[in-house]
Amino acid sequence: MEGNQVVVVDGFPRDIEQVNFLSGTNFQPYVVLLFDCPGDIARDRYLHRDIAGRDKSPAIFARRYVEFVRLNQAVLEAFKEVGVLLTVDTSRETETSYKHLLKALQESKYNLC
């Protein structure tokens, strides 16, 4: 990385076409974080989050989760192939998941904390 500049991009790329687009640019990810969480836990968090103006419909979650699972595997494989994928277990409560993130970053080659 050049200097101390860090850009965090959340939710992109969403599919392999966006990965292919990104690979044709000068913006290449230094690290890609996968916050790994089982669907039932993600669903519970989604339905109980306190964000004003956001729908908490189980049907919306189900539709979006199915799409995420369908599209995400190819994205993860692409980033794993180039050696930038870092998977973090986020299935526990927030504080424990945060500790898992810090530990994964500290033990990785990325030296981000």
- Per-residue pLDDT of the chain in tens (113 residues, 90 and over written 9): 456 677 788 888 999 999 999 888 888 888 999 999 999 999 999 998 877 767 788 999 999 999 999 999 999 999 999 999 999 999 999 999 999 999 988 888 876 76
Please enumerate in sequence order all residues whose Cβ is within 8 A of that of 99, keeping only pairs 6 or more positions apart, or say none.
none
Q: Which domain holds residue 58?
A: 34-107
**Is 95 a member of any domain?**
yes
For the chain, what is the domain count? 1
pTM of the model: 0.80
Q: d(Cα 84, Cα 80) in Å, to the nearest integer?
A: 6
Q: d(Cα 32, Cα 79) in Å, to the nearest integer?
A: 7
**Is 16 a member of any domain?**
no
**Is 80 a member of any domain?**
yes
**Is 25 a member of any domain?**
no
Between CA 108 and CA 64, with CA 95 as vertex, the angle to 5 degrees is: 85
